Amino acid sequence: MALLELRDVSKAFGGLQVIDHLSLHVDEGEIVSVIGPNGAGKTTVFNLITGIFHVDSGEIVFEGDKISGLAPHRITNRGIARTFQTLRLFLNMTVMENVMAAEYGQTKSTLLEAMLQLPRSRKEEKQIRKLAEEKLGFFGQRLAGYRHGQPAYSLSYANRRRLEIARAMATNARLLLLDEPAAGMNPHETHEITELIGKLRDDAGYSILVIEHDMHVVEGISDRVIALDHGIKIAEGLFDDVATHPLVIEAYLGVRAETEEAV
Amino acid sequence: MSSLGGGQPGEGGLPPAAPEVEPADQAQVGTDEWVARVDERRAAQKGLSGVVVRGWERLPAPARLIVLLGPFAIFPFITNEGNLYRYGLLTLIYALLAMGLNVVVGFAGLLDLGYVAFFGFGAYLYGIMASGHSGHHLQAEIAIPIVVVSTALVGLLLGLTSWRLLGDYLAIVTLFFLQAFVIFVNNANGGLNDFSYPFVGKVDLTGGANGLDRIDPFNLFGYHITTTKGYYFFTLISITLLMTMLYFVNGSRTGRAWRALREDPLAAEVMSMPVNRLKLLAFMFGAAVAGFSGTIYGAVQSGAFPGDYDVGLLITIYAIVILGGLGSIGGVVIGALVVNGAPELLRSSSNARFLFYGVLLLALFLAMRPWYKPLLVLLGTVAFGFAVHGIASAVWSRGTAGHISGGGPLGRGLEHWVLLPSHTSSIAGWAYFALIVAALVLTLLRDWWRALALIPTLYLAAFVWENKLVEQVSGATRLIMLGTLLVVIMNVRPAGIFGTSRVEIV
């Protein structure tokens, strides 16, 4: 059974049909890439899955349960976490706090317990700190110990992207939605991110749905590629098949003049 | 960095993360870590202020609490009743009140302009339960929890309206709430225009515009708090406890979630934090603190009056929170000390004089580089003054005939330096005008020309001060001085005295 499934999902903003009867699925342990030109509706798909937008019709199912209609934080607690295309870190909090904040959903102690430092609050605090160190440890030297106390705004661009992934991991997700993880990175960093995404699946056991424009990254990581244009799925399959699919080429490059005449 | 004062919090009472890394001393030039710390090294303050800041940051949290509040514990034993009330008790009550606002605005980032309504609500509710006006005399240990819980519930109700409101809209709605509260307490006196409540009919709840008088002093488990000193220590203990609790909260899941929500509500929601519930919680927490400080204020004043809980107080409390540093727990105490203490201190002309010359010197030495330049200007001004005074005493005897008002050792010294004409009014008026022109001219000059022009300008400023401003020291001058002081502080510490500067977009 698929881990995540979108069944016939539609979404319109006013008169603009952004997502049009879209169905897709992500299996356990799979890396699926979503490609498509700007405005194709890729990020909207993410916003629908995470509950920031509500679907107009159709439904979204995660691990057999319907999640469309739930509040975003509840969906996250079910096991889906995302990163943002335009980074949205808690800039004025430390690296460590950014990760620990995302563990909110896994802790239970109340405000009163924290005020009085009751045992449960202290125990949870220790646990999530250890968990956060573990998640940050996944990134090796890049987010190593001495960086834990530094404010997030002091990180370089690439490290901010890494921290966002660490933060998403900390929510105890099983499915990660990565929105253009390689955007704005140099070739060396892009290569690192490609390896990192592979590691996320192989070593850490995440299933991953990723939006990416860099075709080298998409080629390097994807088990399956889905191409969107104007909210419609125009192609799906292995990278080579999708990349050579006529509709995909048309979506990216437009139609040749003579073909147009023929039509 | 973990601190009571700093905006970046400590993480609860837990031991530091990993012992493996020692800062800077081990780091090698060119290594990853050394590069990563470049901003820190650049930001490290040099000189005396650097020593103070680093020393403060090195103190463990309990020691900071003692440094901040220790002087307050000693204060009652070295002063009289009147000063204790004006400087001590009011400062503490403001600090307590500001601490709650700091949670709402500083932590959770909700612009709540109705905050002081909760303060008034606390005072009135306590008055209704325990006063000669209402005829009930409930003991404080029962009344205070009732007040705290009810104010939190009112906070919840107001918070519910803010469920979908953010920023400016929230500010408007809460400001409306404050105005509605003030109008309500002004009218709920059971008079002709008052409405009649279900079951009880018309009741005089608040005493209307005359206020709710004869509020009982606290009767805590049979012990009556009747002296200023008693309330002072009651408030001081409350602040100590609240600060400690806030310190723990700040490093807990709730505190982190509040700050995350301030940074980016959408990201917080998607990262598993129930944003709406957290907003309500912040609202309720702030309201409860305000209600609690309201009971103390009501009991201290032995009355609650509508005019006390209006926009004026709101501005004062916001000034305290912002001056202390948004989001800083210790900052509000210092903020309250400055905002409440400075205007009181400035009532006496000798105090105001010290502050005037102090601020001038401070501004001079902070703004001019290198260090010997302001020193030369200072020496030049002193010499210039004596020269002018000497010439004037020879050729214009009326010019030195006047006397310094206020006096004090500084004043007696100044009599031989600054010109003091016997009839000042018109000369001082022109001098005031000339000072403004001179200040404008200064902004057009550069380098040594400016330093040179500063000498007569400073002397002119002293002349205007001694002949005009000092006479109105309890009126307009006091406000000018307070404004100047705030401007200087905000320039030196833009993020507040204890605040850490926040980065919005990088």
The minimum CA-CA distance between A10 and chain B, rounded to whole Å, is 21
Q: Give the Cα separation of B275 and B267 in Å (integer).
A: 10
Q: Is the pLDDT of residue A263 over 60?
A: no
Q: Which of these ranges, A58-62, B65-69, B73-77, B466-470, has the smallest mean pLDDT? A: B466-470
Of B14, B248, B285, the CB nearest to A126: B14
Given pLDDT bands bounded at 50, 70 and 90, which one contains residue B504?
low
Q: Mean pLDDT lowest for which of B51-65, B102-116, B177-191?
A: B51-65
How high is the ipTM of this complex? 0.92
Across chain B, mean pLDDT equals: 83
User: Is the Cβ pair A97, B259 closer than 8 Å?
Assistant: yes
CA distance A8 to chain B (A): 24
Cβ within 8 Å, pair B13-A90: no
Maximum C-alpha span of chain A: 77
**What is the pLDDT, as a whole number, of residue B373?**
85
- For residue B140, pLDDT over 80 is answered with yes
Compute the half-sphere exposure of residue B374: CA atoms within 13 Å on the CB side of its CA. 12
Rounded Cα gap, residues A57 and B365, in angstroms: 69
Q: Which residues of A touch B274 (CB under 8 A)?
A: 71, 73
Question: DSSP secondary-structure letter at A38?
Answer: T
Tell me the pLDDT band of B7, cut-offs 50, 70 and 90: very low
Relative orientation angle of helices B228-250 and B61-74, to the nearest 10 degrees: 170
Distance in angstroms (rounded) separating the CA atoms of residues A14 and B29: 57
Residue of A115, A124, A146 with shortest CB distance to B248: A115
- Interchain pair A92, B245: CB under 8 A: no
The count of residues in chain A is 263
Task: Point out which residues pair with A35 in neighbouring strands.
Answer: A227
User: Bigger pLDDT: B492 or B121?
Assistant: B121
CB contact under 8 A, B271 and A150: no
B31 versus B362: the higher-pLDDT residue is B362
Which of A49, A80, A93 best probes binding to B when mutated, by most B CB atoms within 10 angstroms? A93
DSSP 8-state code for residue A261: H
Q: Does B260 contact A50 at a Cβ distance shorter than 8 Å?
A: no
- Predicted pLDDT at B41: 66
Q: Of all residues in chain B, what percent carry a pLDDT higher than 90?
A: 37
Digit-coded pLDDT (tens) for B223-275? 999 899 999 999 999 999 999 999 999 999 999 999 999 999 999 999 999 99
* Mean pLDDT, residues B174-184: 93
pLDDT, tens only, B46-59 = 666 667 777 887 88
To the nearest whole Å, the CA of A9 is away from the closest chain B CA by 21
Which of A86, A90, A169 would you mutate first to test chain B, the one with the most B CBs within 10 A? Answer: A90
Which positions in chain A touch B271 (Cβ < 8 Å)?
73, 76, 81, 101-102, 104, 167-168, 171
Residue B320: per-residue pLDDT: 93
Contacts of A145 in chain B (CB under 8 A): 17-18, 20-21
Question: pLDDT at position B199, please?
Answer: 77
Measured between beta carbons, the chain B residues lying within 8 angstroms of A150 are 36, 40
* Per-residue confidence (pLDDT) for residue B8, from 0 to 100: 42
Closest CA to B320 of B99, B74, B157, B78: B99
Q: Residue B182, Cβ neighbours under 10 Å: how many?
A: 19
Average pLDDT over residues A64-90: 94
Give the mean pLDDT of B5-20: 42
Domains of chain B by residue range:
60-338, 351-473
- Minimum CA–CA partner of A86 in chain B: B267
pLDDT at B19: 44
Contacts of A115 in chain B (CB under 8 A): 245, 248-249
Angle formed by the axes of helices B447-467 and B425-444, to 10°? 160
On whether any CB of chain A is under 8 Å from the CB of B370, the answer is no
Task: Determine the residue of chain A that is closest to B9 in CA distance.
Answer: A93
Output b/e per residue, A185-223; b: 16+ Cβ within 10 A.
beeebbebbbebbeebbeeeebbbbbbbebeebbebbbb
**pLDDT range class, residue A4, cuts 50, 70, 90:** very high
At residue B383, the pLDDT reads 92
Closest CB from B33, B264, B270 relative to A146? B33
Beta strands in A57-106 (DSSP E): 57-62, 65-66, 80-82
3-state secondary structure B419-430: CCCCCCHHHHHH
Characterize B316-346 residue by residue with b for buried, 16 or more Cβ atoms within 10 angstroms of its Cβ, and e for exposed.
Answer: bbbbbbbbbbbbbbbbbbbbbbbbbebbebb
Residue B208: per-residue pLDDT? 85
Alpha helices in B368-401, H assignment, sequence order:
372-395
The beta-carbon neighbor of B252 closest among A121, A133, A145 is A121
Q: Which residues are registered as beta bridge partners of A16?
A: A13
| CATH code linked to domain A4-79+173-253 | 3.40.50.300
Q: Is B23 on the interface with A (CB under 8 A)?
A: yes
Given pLDDT bands bounded at 50, 70 and 90, which one contains residue B408? low
Q: Which two tokens stand for residue A68?
A: 């469309």
Q: Cβ separation of B256 and A97 shorter than 8 Å?
A: yes
CA angle A242, A244, A250 (to 5 degrees): 95
| B18:A171 CB<8 A | no
Which positions in chain A touch B12 (Cβ < 8 Å)? Answer: 114, 117, 121-122, 125
pTM of the model: 0.83
Measure in Å the smallest separation between the Cα of B335 and chain A Cα atoms: 22
The shortest CB-CB distance from B8 to any of A82, A101, A151 is to: A151
Which of B270, B284, B328 has the highest number of chain A CBs within 10 A, making it the mutation to test binding with A? B270
Q: Across residues B387-396, what is the average pLDDT?
A: 86
- Would you place residue A97 in the very low, low, confident or very high pLDDT band (cuts 50, 70, 90)? very high
Query: Is any Cβ of chain A less than 8 angstroms from the Cβ of B391?
Result: no
Q: Is the pLDDT of residue B15 over 70?
A: no
What number is the average pLDDT over the span A127-153?
A: 88
Beta-carbon separation of A151 and B249 below 8 A: no
Write down the pLDDT at residue B325. 87
Question: Chain A contacts of B264, Cβ < 8 Å?
Answer: 88-90
Calculate mean pLDDT across residues B75-101: 90
Give the mean pLDDT of B419-447.
83
Strand partners, A5: A25, A61
Q: What pLDDT does B178 receive?
A: 95
Query: HSE (CB half, 13 Å, CA atoms) of B32?
Result: 11
Facing residue for B12 by CB, picked from A76, A122, A171:
A122
**Backbone phi and psi for residue B498, each to the nearest 5 degrees, phi listed first:** -105, 0
Dihedral of CA atoms A50, A52, A53, A54 in degrees, nearest 10, equals 70
User: Which residue among A76, A92, A151 places its CB closest to the CB of B271?
Assistant: A76
Structure token pair of residue B395: 């050729």
- Interfacial B residues in 244-273 facing A (CB < 8 Å): 245, 248-249, 251-257, 259-260, 263-264, 266-273
Say yes or no to pLDDT of B5 above 90: no
- Cβ atoms B381, B459 nearer than 8 A: yes
| 3-state SS assignment for residue B140 | helix
Q: Report how far residue B399's alpha carbon sits from residue A195's, in angstroms, rounded to the nearest whole number.
A: 85
- Report the distance separating Cα A137 and Cα A144, nearest Å: 7
What is the rounded average pLDDT of the residues A68-82?
94
The predicted pLDDT at position B406 comes to 63
pLDDT of residue B207: 85
**Interface test with chain B among A146, A150, A153, A172, by most B beta carbons within 10 Å:** A146
Q: Name the closest residue on chain B to residue A109, using Cα atoms.
A: B253
In this structure, are residues A97 and B256 in contact, taking their beta carbons and an 8 Å threshold? Answer: yes
Contacts of A227 (CB under 8 A, 6+ apart): A34, A35, A36, A233, A234, A235, A236, A242, A245, A247, A248, A251
- Asked whether residue B116 carries a pLDDT value surpassing 80, the answer given is yes
Q: Where are the domains of chain A?
A: 4-79+173-253
Does residue B505 surpass a pLDDT of 80? no
What's the sign of the alpha-carbon dihedral B71, B76, B80, B82?
Answer: positive
Mean pLDDT score of chain A: 91
In angstroms, the CA A191 to CA A198 distance is: 11
Query: Measured between alpha carbons, how far is residue A5 from residues A8, A22, A64, A260 in Å?
Result: 10, 10, 9, 36
Asked if residues B377 and B454 have their Cβ atoms less than 8 Å apart, the reply is yes
- E strand or H helix at B221, and its extent? none
- Integer-rounded Cα Rg, in Å, for chain A is 20
Is A151–B269 a contact, with Cβ atoms under 8 angstroms apart? no
Which residues in chain A have Cβ-Cβ distances shorter than 8 Å to B275? 73
Please give the pLDDT value at position B21.
Answer: 45
- Residue B34: its pLDDT value, please? 67
Instruction: Indicate the SS3 state at residue A37.
Output: coil
Over residues B278-291, mean pLDDT: 95
Search chain A and give the residue with CA nearest B1.
A149
CATH class of B60-338: mainly alpha
B263 contacts A93? CB cut-off 8 A = yes
What count of other Cβ atoms lies within 10 Å of the Cβ of residue B356? 23
User: How near does any CA of chain B get to the CA of A23, in Å?
Assistant: 23
Task: Give the distance from CA B141 to its chain's centroid.
Answer: 30
* Residue B175, pLDDT above cutoff 50: yes
pLDDT of residue A10 exceeding 80, the answer is: yes
Q: Which residue has the tokens 């210790």?
A: B330
What angle (nearest 5°) sits at the alpha carbon of residue B501, between those of residues B499 and B503? 145
Does position A32 have pLDDT exceeding 50, yes or no? yes
In terms of Cα–Cα distance, which of A193, A163, A196 is closest to A84? A163
- The average pLDDT across B385-389 equals 89
Interface contact flag, B1 A76, Cβ < 8 Å: no
Q: Is B278 in contact with B76 (CB distance < 8 Å)?
A: no
CB B502 within 8 Å of CB B495: yes
Please tell me if residue B57 touches chain A, with a CB cutoff of 8 Å: no
**Rounded to whole angstroms, what are the CA distances from B329 to B95, B97, B99, B249?**
10, 12, 7, 11
Taking the Cβ of residue B38 and every Cβ of chain A, the question of whether any pair is shorter than 8 Å is answered with no
User: What is the rounded end-to-end Cα distance, in angstroms, of chain B?
Assistant: 21
Range scoring the smallest mean pLDDT among A111-115, A254-258, B223-227, B284-288: A254-258
